[in-house]
Amino acid sequence: MQFLFEIVDILTTYVRKTFDRSTKVLDFHHPHQLLEGMEGFNLELSDQPESLEQILVDCRDTLKYGVRTGHPRFFNQLSTGLDIIGLAGEWLTSTANTNMFTYEIAPVFVLMEQLTLKKMREIVGWPEGEGDGIFSPGGAISNMYSVMIARYKYFPEVKTKGMAAAPRLVLFTSEHSHYSIKKASAALGFGTENLILLKTDERWVADASHMRAAGCGYVPMFVNATGGSTVYGAFDPINEIADICEKYNMWLHVDGAWGGGLLMSRKHRHKLNGIERANSVTWNPHKMMGVPLQCSAILVRERGVLQGCNSMCAGYLFQPDKQYDISYDTGDKAIQCGRHVDIFKFWLMWKAKGTVGFEQHIDKCLDLSAYLYNKIKTREGYQMVFEGEVLLKILFPSSICPLSRAQVAPKIKALMMECGTTMVGYQPQGTKVNFFRMVISNPAATRSDIDFLIDEIERLGYDL
């Protein structure tokens, strides 16, 4: 137990430093450097045990050479921040070390999941929160669920007879949607060529007329509308897409992995107008809402279809003759057998912040985002890649240095990582060369951190 207290000491020191702006975001080393071993930090596994003292050193070093994703100046990923209540929740989950498949061994967690999913469905706007859902290991798997469920709804015989039992099916998504829709098409046996990538107009929204035209000769089955795209943070026009889905009897899925959090904000939820017409929704509290990784929900409007799609009635887990109401054994809805407890940290954060707390967090992030957008818009040396009201702000340093435009962002990012002062992603997209992609979801970030980032980009840019 003394060992656990020493670990906690290491961890709380790390947490404190994470929020301290005078510490670095990361201490970068190349893979070969870490593999060769750093001052007594040796990654190799051995036959003989190490001492507990060495284990503590290993823990300290693991954190030392890692990245502080909760640092107020870490803007690199859609999931950032380090919520203390969420962290406590995750420690508790690890300590309880149980599994979500049956009420039998996770009674409290199963009920928390059920209540929280219902609340989320209410917020989506489904009458009385009716429907179904499950927490899954991330948005990609949640999106995969949506395609599977849609197929089961329209062609249930595929479950037993395979894709040969269905006509040639076509799926739709915008060219700016998350790549997991493509992964799902490949994995589930549709084929990526049968996923039609819809062109987007200048506002980067799925073009409905393209969708109408694309289905000819095949059976159009599924449309993914993106609520907060990964790169631009843009929103597809859900109501417009829903009209088409109703007309052609297609499944409407909304991938709100990133943008779903806006549903918590009365001020901003209008961006997802029409989401209540979706058949299924992906919503990752581990992104915009700042819950520790992993926490991703797939919500389904119709009851029974998730269960029907996946159930195999394994006798060793889901016995019908248990002493309690077995409708609480939800494991047979999942494509997993064992399932990590992802709900508790989220439930605990919700208790601690209340719905209003999440709303304040979302509003604050959007305010910061507007601050950055306005700052960059009028600033020399930058060019906005994407105009308009969006969730992520995109900036592009175009004339700071003599490198080719495509090299600027990677070069600055590399210097940034070597300095370890801040961290932000970049990427090309279509004909656009590398640009910075700025993410604001960390509750610890302030305007001064945004200012710092801009200054740092310029400082590093002038050094090139």
Nearest to 423 by CA among 436, 441, 406, 433: 436
Residue found by looking up tokens 């190799």 in the block = 44
User: How far is residue 374's CA from residue 377's CA, in Å, rounded to a whole number?
Assistant: 5
- Report the residue number, 194 or 446, with the smaller CB distance to a copy of itself: 194
Question: 242 or 305, CB closer to a copy of itself?
Answer: 305
Contact 185, 195 (CB under 8 A): yes
Q: At its nearest, how many Å lie between a copy of itself and the CB of residue 246?
A: 26
Residue with Cβ nearer a copy of itself (121 or 277): 121
CB of 105 to a copy of itself, least distance (A): 5
Q: How many other CB atoms are found less than 10 A from the CB of residue 364?
A: 15
Q: 215 or 410: whose CB is closer to a copy of itself?
A: 410
E strand segments, 88-247:
132-136, 169-174, 195-198, 219-226
Name the minimum Å distance from CB 34 to a copy of itself.
Answer: 6
DSSP string computed for 62-91: HHHTSB-TTSTTEESSSS----HHHHHHHH
Q: Are 56 and 40 in contact (CB under 8 A)?
A: no
Least gap, CB of 206 to a copy of itself (angstroms):
19
Q: Minimal distance in Å, beta carbon 231 to a copy of itself?
A: 5
Based on CB atoms, which residue is closest to a copy of itself, 237 or 425? 425
Secondary structure percentages of the chain, helix, strand, coil, to 5? 45, 15, 40
- Tell me how far, at minimum, the Cβ of 243 lies from a copy of itself, in Å: 28
* 262 Cβ neighbours under 8 A, 6+ residues apart: 227, 228, 268, 269, 271, 272, 288, 362, 366, 391
Between 238 and 439, CB nearer to a copy of itself: 439
| Shortest spacing between CB 342 and a copy of itself, in angstroms | 9
Nearer of residues 41 and 248 to a copy of itself, judged by Cβ = 41
Q: How far is the CB of 377 from a copy of itself (least distance, A)?
A: 22
Please name which of 23, 104, 105 lies closest in space to residue 63, comparing C-alpha atoms: 23
For the bound state, the minimum distance from the C-beta of residue 163 to a copy of itself, rounded and expressed in Å, comes to: 4
Alpha helices in 23-178 (DSSP H): 31-36, 52-64, 84-96, 107-124, 139-154, 158-161
- Pick the closer one to a copy of itself by CB: 89 or 260: 89
- In terms of CB distance, is 22 or 95 closer to a copy of itself? 95
Q: What is the largest CA-CA distance in the chain?
A: 74
Can you tell me the distance from the alpha carbon of 214 to that of 188, in angstroms, rounded to the nearest whole number? 21
Minimum CB distance to a copy of itself, residue 167 (Å) = 10
Residue closer to a copy of itself, measured from CB, 208 or 415: 415
First to last CA, the chain: 51
Q: How far is the CB of 240 from a copy of itself (least distance, A)?
A: 26
Is the CB of residue 278 less than 8 Å from the CB of residue 255?
no
Nearer to a copy of itself, 55 or 208 (CB): 55
Alpha-carbon gap, residue 390 to 234, rounded angstroms:
6
Strand order in the sheet with 296-300: 132-136, 296-300, 280-283, 251-256, 219-226, 169-174, 195-198
Structure tokens at 189: 């046996």
Q: Are strands 251-256 and 280-283 parallel, antiparallel or unpaired?
A: parallel
Kindly state the smallest distance separating residue 104's Cβ from a copy of itself, in Å: 7
Q: Which is nearer to a copy of itself, 296 or 422 (CB)?
A: 296
CA 185/CA 242 separation, integer angstroms:
21
**Rg of the chain on CA atoms, in Å:** 24
